[in-house]
């Protein structure tokens, strides 16, 4: 057993040995330093060099496929900030006055994409909707007034114009060539943070989120490019570009439960955008052809087919009707393109114009068939021929007739009367237009022309009428009697 005395002697010896080693090491270091007279100057030079700035232009070496710099440089100068200023409507103004509230001017903001060097800008319809004034702020901070060229609520797109030249613009890319998993950039002005760029991948194509279509708009076209690039309020109308900086979509919506980005955003494909912009520029409105069918996805629940578009109904007199398509047929192709979903079908047809001839491949009872049809104008098949109008009722400059079965089917109404001719008088002064279908007078439903005539013959004071236009838009009017 080691005694206390031996233990302390051991500790002391270890301490002395350690101290000796430290002293020898310092001596050697000092000896080395003394043999290098330039050492201090080297240290000074090193310290100085850390504070200098290398002004040599950088050469970016980025792995192919994830270089966002080129796309950003191309897209950012061509994306603009849009301010929409609108005054309260006359109706909202009356309510404000009634409740003692001040009528306030409303402002909202969004984004747009310059698509030509002479100032044409693509954006969303909801960005410019109800605008009394539109102001565009460019990337160089110039602020210019814009005029509205045209809108298409069916695709939530709009075209505006500023008076300027030699502007940077984005070239249209081919959205058909976009691949799931491909890197893309979203450029816009979220939360009024100008020229914000975010990156993500394409996570799906031909996506329908029931934003435009549905009960609110029976003709709405949804075939969105879905990405996980961060998009927020203010990005609407901005650019979705590929890594070459080409425009492949207009950012339009996000999937969210909070009002802010929750993981997915949606853009209108560039091919559809270009078609709409061309129509608005050339005609002032979109020229859209219709098949004239009620459709849903073929997913095995209603037919034996697991993909394609199931025809639920064919409108009498429509292009599909004339081509021989029938209920329960499943459309699987248009021209040389396969069709798997309603979104794909709607987008492809929306690229066409009335009068265009297309080939339709469909399945009937398991057999593949093909037919050709000529697309017709929106609601053209609701037009009335003189032979279809047996009885009419003329009052206050307007002529009314019973609605046909095809109109009932298309508008999903059980009865009503249609204005087939509009002249000077109370109806025109109220703002009605040709083709309007009246389904209710006051709080009374209208089943037939005879009932409509009986009600109006006994009217002695002003009243309201409600109904729909042939495109499904609901309206009501006050008739000064």
pLDDT of res. 57 = 66
Which has more pLDDT, 18 or 11? Answer: 18
The residue-averaged pLDDT of 312-316 equals 83
Q: Among the listed ranges 38-42, 66-70, 232-236, 412-416, which one has the minimum average pLDDT value?
A: 38-42
Q: 26 pLDDT band (50/70/90 cuts)?
A: low
Q: 160 pLDDT band (50/70/90 cuts)?
A: very high
- The rounded distance, in Å, linking the Cα atoms of 348 and 291 is 11
Q: Could you confirm whether 213 is annotated as catalytic? A: no
**Domains (ranges, CATH) in the chain?**
78-162 (2.40.10.10), 175-283 (2.40.10.10), 289-380 (2.30.42.10), 384-479 (2.30.42.10)
- The rounded distance, in Å, linking the Cα atoms of 299 and 390 is 43
The residue-averaged pLDDT of 429-452 equals 91
The residue-averaged pLDDT of 82-104 equals 63
Q: Among the listed ranges 94-98, 196-200, 232-236, 314-318, which one has the minimum average pLDDT value?
A: 94-98
* Nearest 10 degrees: Cα torsion 453, 459, 464, 468: 0
Q: Among the listed ranges 1-15, 224-238, 324-338, 397-411, which one has the minimum average pLDDT value?
A: 1-15
Q: Among the listed ranges 32-46, 279-293, 375-389, 458-472, which one has the minimum average pLDDT value?
A: 32-46
Mean pLDDT of the chain: 83
The DSSP secondary structure of 16-63, one letter per residue, reads: HHHHHHHHHHHHHHHHHHHT-TTHHHHHHHHHHHHT----SPP-----
Query: Is the pLDDT confidence value at 51 over 60?
Result: no
The residue-averaged pLDDT of 16-20 equals 60
Query: Is the pLDDT confidence value at 255 over 90?
Result: no
- Catalytic-labelled residue, pool 152, 154, 156, 246: 156
Q: Among the listed ranges 207-211, 244-248, 371-375, 402-406, which one has the minimum average pLDDT value?
A: 402-406
Tokens of 408: 């009932």
Reported as a single tens digit per residue, the pLDDT across 168-179 is 999 999 999 999
Q: 404 pLDDT band (50/70/90 cuts)?
A: confident
* Nearest 10 degrees: Cα torsion 417, 419, 421, 425: 110
Which has more pLDDT, 15 or 399? Answer: 399
Q: Mapped to the 3 state alphabet, what secondary structure does the chain carry?
A: CCCHHHHHHHHHHHHHHHHHHHHHHHHHHHHHHHCCCCHHHHHHHHHHHHCCCCCCCCCCCCCCCCCHHHHHHHHHHHEEEEEEEECCCHHHHHHHHHCCCCCCCEEEEEEEEECCCCCEEEECHHHHCCCCEEEEECCCCCEEEEEEEEEECCCCEEEEEECCCCCCCCCECCHHHCCCCCEEEEEECHHHCCCEEEEEEEEEEEECCCCCCECCECCCCCCEEEECCCCCCCCCCCEEECCCCCEEEEEEEEECCCCCCCCEEEEEEHHHHHHHHHHHHHHCCCCCEECCEEEEECCCCCCCCCCCEEEEEECCCCHHHHHCCCCCCEEEEECCEECCCHHHHHHHHHCCCCCCEEEEEEEECCEEEEEEEECEECCHHHCCCHHHCCCEEEECCEEEEECCHHHHHHHCCCCCEEEEEECCCHHHHHCCCCCCEEEEECCEECCCHHHHHHHHHCCCCCEEEEEECCCCCEEEEEECC
Q: Could you confirm whether 310 is annotated as catalytic? A: no
Which has more pLDDT, 15 or 472? Answer: 472
Q: CB-based contacts of 79: which residues, under 8 Å, 6+ apart?
A: 111, 112, 113, 114, 139, 170, 187, 188, 189, 195, 238, 239
Q: Among the listed ranges 219-223, 397-401, 464-468, which one has the minimum average pLDDT value?
A: 219-223
Q: Taking a C-beta distance cutoff of 8 angstroms, is the pair 442, 464 a contact?
A: yes
pTM: 0.69
- Residue found by looking up tokens 């599909």 in the block: 320
- The rounded distance, in Å, linking the Cα atoms of 93 and 108 is 19
pLDDT of res. 38 = 43
Helices (H), 101-164: 125-128
Reported as a single tens digit per residue, the pLDDT across 181-227 is 999 999 999 998 999 999 999 999 999 888 876 544 567 888 999 99
Handedness of CA 303, 304, 310, 311 (dihedral sign): negative
pLDDT > 90 fraction of the chain, expressed in percent and rounded: 55
3-state secondary structure of 68: helix
- The rounded distance, in Å, linking the Cα atoms of 473 and 173 is 33
pLDDT of res. 173 = 96
pLDDT of res. 459 = 85
Which has more pLDDT, 189 or 33? Answer: 189
Q: Taking a C-beta distance cutoff of 8 angstroms, is the pair 261, 301 a contact?
A: no
Query: Is the pLDDT confidence value at 166 over 90?
Result: yes
Q: Could you confirm whether 15 is annotated as catalytic? A: no
Reported as a single tens digit per residue, the pLDDT across 54-90 is 566 655 555 565 789 999 999 999 999 999 998 865 5
pLDDT of res. 294 = 86
pLDDT of res. 392 = 84
- Catalytic-labelled residue, pool 74, 108, 126, 213: 126
- Catalytic-labelled residue, pool 74, 111, 236, 343: 236
The residue-averaged pLDDT of 301-313 equals 91
Q: In 3-state terms, the chain is what percent helix, strand and coil (to 5)?
A: 25, 35, 40
Q: Taking a C-beta distance cutoff of 8 angstroms, is the pair 245, 75 a contact?
A: yes
pLDDT of res. 401 = 87
């Amino acid at each position: 057993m080691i005694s206390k005395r031996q233990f302390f002697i051991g500790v002391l010896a270890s301490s002395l040995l350690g101290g000796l080693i430290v002293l020898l090491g310092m001596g050697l270091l000092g000896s080395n330093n003394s043999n290098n007279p330039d050492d201090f100057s080297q240290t000074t030079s090193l310290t100085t060099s850390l504070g200098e700035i290398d002004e040599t232009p950088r050469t970016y070496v980025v792995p192919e496929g994830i270089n966002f710099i080129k796309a950003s440089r191309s897209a950012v100068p061509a994306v603009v900030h849009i301010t929409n200023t609108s005054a309260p409507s006359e109706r909202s103004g009356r309510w404000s006055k009634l409740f003692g509230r001040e009528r306030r001017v409303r402002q909202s903001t969004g984004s747009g994409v310059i698509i030509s060097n002479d100032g044409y800008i693509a954006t969303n319809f909801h960005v410019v909707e109800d605008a009394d004034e539109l102001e565009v702020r460019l990337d160089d901070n110039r602020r210019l007034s814009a005029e509205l060229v045209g809108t298409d609520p069916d695709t939530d797109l709009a075209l505006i114009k500023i008076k300027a030249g030699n502007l940077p613009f984005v070239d249209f890319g081919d959205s058909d060539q976009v691949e799931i998993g491909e890197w893309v950039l979203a450029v816009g002005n979220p939360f009024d943070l100008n020229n914000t760029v975010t990156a993500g991948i394409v996570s799906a194509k031909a996506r329908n989120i029931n934003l435009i279509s549905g009960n609110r708009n029976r003709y709405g076209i949804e075939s969105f490019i879905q990405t996980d690039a961060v998009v927020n309020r203010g990005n609407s109308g901005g650019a979705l570009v590929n890594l070459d900086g080409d425009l492949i979509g207009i950012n339009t919506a996000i999937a969210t439960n909070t009002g802010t980005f929750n993981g997915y955003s949606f853009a209108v494909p560039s091919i559809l955008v270009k078609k709409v912009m061309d129509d608005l520029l050339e005609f002032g409105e979109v020229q859209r052809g219709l098949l004239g069918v009620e459709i849903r996805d073929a997913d095995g629940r209603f037919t034996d087919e697991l993909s394609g578009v199931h025809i639920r109904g064919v409108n009498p007199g429509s292009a599909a009707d004339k081509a021989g398509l029938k209920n329960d047929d499943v459309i699987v192709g248009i021209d040389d393109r396969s069709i798997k979903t309603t979104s794909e079908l709607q987008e492809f047809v929306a690229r066409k114009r009335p009068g265009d001839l297309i080939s339709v491949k469909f399945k009937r009872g398991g057999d593949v068939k093909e037919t050709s049809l000529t697309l017709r104008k929106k609601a053209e098949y609701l037009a009335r021929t003189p032979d279809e109008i047996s009885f009419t009722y003329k009052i206050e400059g307007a002529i009314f007739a019973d609605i046909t079965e095809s109109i009932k089917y298309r508008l999903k109404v059980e009865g009503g009367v249609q204005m087939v001719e509009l002249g000077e008088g109370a109806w025109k002064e109220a703002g009605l237009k040709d083709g309007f279908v009246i389904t209710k007078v006051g709080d009374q439903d209208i089943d037939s022309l005879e009932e409509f005539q009986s009600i109006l013959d006994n009217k002695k004071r002003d009243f309201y009428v409600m109904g729909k236009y042939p495109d499904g838009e609901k309206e009501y009017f006050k008739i000064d009697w």
